[in-house]
Each structure stands twice: as C-alpha cells, then as structure tokens.
Amino acid sequence: MKKIGLFLLLSLTGILTFAQQVPVARDTLFEKAPQGLVRFYFDDHYFLVDKDCAFKSIERLSAFVVSKNAFHGEFKDFDRNGRVVLTGTYNQGVKAGPFKAYHPNGTLKWESTFVNNVAVGDWNYYYPDGRPMLTVTFDSTGGRIKSFWDRFGRQRVTAGEGNYEFKMPFEFYNEYGYPFFERKGKIRNGIPTGYWTTHMVDEKNKKILFTEEVYDRNGALTDGYNLFLDSEYKVPLTIIPSQSFLTAERMLFKACTFDDYSGFNSYLSDKLNSAFGASPTHKNLEDDFSYRVSLDKDGNPEMITLRKRLKSDDINRYFEAVLKEIPFYFPSLDENGEPIADTLAVSGKLSTNEVGAFNFHSIRIERGKKQED
C-alpha cells in the first residue's frame, strides 16, 4: 500500500506540487476551435479537466453534436507536446471505421476497426520499436487472443494457442502496494484455460503472487483466490490492455486535485461502500459527513477527528470504525516537493436508496498546508 502510494507520489512530484499550490480559478473543459470543431481537455485517463489543470495531458479536436452529447466525424487527440496519440471517427457518438493509437515516438501503438460501435476483426498492438506485441480478434462471441510476442520478439501464442505472460499497470490507486500486475497462464483456442496466476510487480520488477485461478475449457473462471485478502472471487482482472479512451465518451469530469486524479477519492468511496451492506431500516437517507485526519510524512494516519457526524447514531459508530481501517492517505508536499506531515479535511455525502443500499460519494479532500498557503 505505501509502496504504490509513494511510487506514484514521487513519480509525479513536480506536477503534484504545482497542483497543490496553485488553485484553478474556473473550469474550462472545452472551447470552440476553428472550422466548427471543439477542443476538449482530458487527463491521461480521459476524464475532463480544466484546460489549466496540472493534470491535463490530452487535447481532442472533434465536431460535437450537443443534442446527443456525442462526438461526431473524424477526431484527433494530442499529448502535452502536440504529438498525435489517437485518431478515429464517430458517427453521432457511434465508433465507426479505423481507430489508431500512437506511442510518444510516433510509432503505431495499436489499431482496430469498429462497426456500429463494436470492435471487429483483429485489434493489433505494437511495441514502441514497431515490433508486433499482441493480436486480439473480435467476432460475435467476443474477443480472443490470436497472437502474442514477448519483449524479446519470441512468439508465445500462435493461432490462439500458447503461453501468455503480460504486465499491465493499475489505472488508479489501490491499497495492495504495487503499481503493476502480471497475468500468466495458458491460452487455448484464444481464451484462458487451466491454471492462471496474477503477480503484483513493483517498479524494480520484483514480483509477489497475488491470485490463483482455474478456467474451464470455455474460458469461464471456476475458481479464483485472492492471497492478499484470503478470499475467493468470481470476477478476474483483465488479461488484455484496457482502453481508457472509451471514458471520453461518458464526458466525466474530475476536479484538479491529486486525490481526484489518482483515483484516491474513488478508492475512499469504494472502501466505505464495501463496508456497509444494505439496511432496510435506513432507506432513502441523505446526509453529509466530514472529518480531519492527521498524517505523518509517509501518509500514515495518526489521529482521526469527526467534524460533522452522521445523523444516525448506529451508522455513525460503524462509520468511525471503518475510518480507522483506512491505512493510507497521500501526504502533502512542501515547496521542494518533499512529503510532509499534515492535517487533511475530508468531506462527502451519504445517500441510501429505496432498499437501503449505501452510497458514500462526492468525496473531497482539503489539505491543511494548502489552506495555510
């Protein structure tokens, strides 16, 4: 947990220092561009952000159909240096035709073709030097791995048969402690078969076993066990690269804070929601909460103080207990980008639906250091 927190923190020290110290005056998520186009501003996970946000990393030029809230026609995405990273075509929000993504050096990263918003045929992935990496073929039954080459150029999967070993990054914060995970197992007829493992991988490529799985001949997971949580599960991690560009179609916005960008606020929401089961005695509630948490410079919580308690005493008692189980928060940084001890103000909302299912949401974190600045 600390390892991924500090790894992510240190890798983004400069941008995080700027974002903590410079407030964004307004949110400009898109602007008019020449020739009737619109310029959209995204972070690297394709969440809309303010054009002046330190986490803005992608700009999209595209026509846009306001009545359908949808991209239309050919578009191009550019990185911070003005290099093209993705091209494609939408027909009033529906993906149509070839889509191509590019590595920072300009070589092709992947290419795919869409018909009526669905990938068809081969989706080809390439290494930065242009060598083939992975081919996933799509038909009416879904996607199957057709070919795979490792980093040494050795073909490990041919015609849907072979051994697969692929490392991918976690997209957002998690408390397991590693920034990458590696999936390994046998591919038969393009799908996972038999015994599979997932290893957590750190920035020095050190690995630790995370999950063990068994798949049947149809590629269905029959047994899954998480060694970190000592529990069984039914939904495995992906075995092929995820595509964050699809998030752009949902037009989701993130505030310009590191806690939002890193996914830590979403992690807090998920942590709280998973701790509460549905309760018929607490239906259709709306409530606010806030608390302060004192951190040491490594992000370890040392003291938690409720500022605004939830209205229900029994919910409030359990809420306090769950807060004490959150092991880590991203620490604040000083003017040199070094982690420091600080006090965070955390606020959010709680709502329950007609069956009493809990939803902790709208999490916001304010840093004492920033307030003093």
CA 49/CA 59 separation, integer angstroms: 10
Portion of the chain with pLDDT greater than 90, in percent: 81
DSSP percent split of the chain into helix, strand, coil, nearest 5: 15, 45, 40
Categorize the per-residue pLDDT at 26 as very low, low, confident or very high, splitting at 50, 70 and 90.
low
Geometric angle at alpha carbon 144, from 143 and 147, rounded to 5°? 130
CB atoms within 10 A of CB 363: 19
Chain-centre distance of CA 114, in angstroms?
Answer: 23
Q: Both tokens of residue 365?
A: 């974190």
CA 81/CA 83 separation, integer angstroms: 6
320 three-state secondary structure: helix
Mean pLDDT of 22-50: 87
Mean pLDDT of 73-77: 98
CA 94/CA 202 separation, integer angstroms: 38
Mean pLDDT of 163-180: 90
Chain-centre distance of CA 70, in angstroms?
Answer: 22
pLDDT of 159 strictly over 60: yes
Categorize the per-residue pLDDT at 10 as very low, low, confident or very high, splitting at 50, 70 and 90.
very low
* Lowest-pLDDT choice from 2-6, 241-245, 289-293, 345-349: 2-6
Helices (H) and strands (E) in the chain, counts: 6, 24
Mean pLDDT of 116-143: 95
pLDDT of 8 strictly over 60: no
Render 323-369 in DSSP notation, one character per residue.
HTT----PPEE-TTS-EE-EEEEEEEEEEE-TT--EEEEEEEEEEHH
- pLDDT for position 337: 85
- Give residue for tokens 């998480």: 226
CA 252/CA 330 separation, integer angstroms: 23
Q: Where are the domains of the chain?
A: 24-249, 256-372
Highest mean pLDDT among 40-49, 312-321, 322-331: 40-49
pLDDT of 161 strictly over 50: yes
Q: Tell which residue, 276, 256, 247, has the closest CA to residue 353.
A: 276
pLDDT of 106 strictly over 60: yes
Mean pLDDT of 302-311: 93
pLDDT of 4 strictly over 60: no
Portion of the chain with pLDDT greater than 70, in percent: 92
* Lowest-pLDDT choice from 128-142, 169-183, 235-249: 169-183
Q: Tell which residue, 263, 293, 273, has the closest CA to residue 360.
A: 273
Mean pLDDT of 45-67: 96
- pLDDT for position 344: 96
CA 145/CA 166 separation, integer angstroms: 12
- pLDDT for position 215: 97
In eight-state DSSP terms, residue 186 is E
pTM of the model: 0.85
- pLDDT for position 278: 81
Categorize the per-residue pLDDT at 19 as very low, low, confident or very high, splitting at 50, 70 and 90.
very low
Mean pLDDT of 187-193: 97
Average pLDDT, the chain: 90
- pLDDT for position 369: 64
pLDDT of 354 strictly over 80: yes
pLDDT of 5 strictly over 70: no
- pLDDT for position 83: 97
Specify the higher pLDDT residue, 369 or 349. 349
- pLDDT for position 43: 97
**284 Cβ contact partners less than 8 Å away, ≥ 6 residues apart:** 352, 353, 354
pLDDT of 3 strictly over 80: no
In sign, the C-alpha dihedral spanning 306, 307, 309, 315 is negative
Mean pLDDT of 152-179: 93
- pLDDT for position 6: 44
- pLDDT for position 141: 82
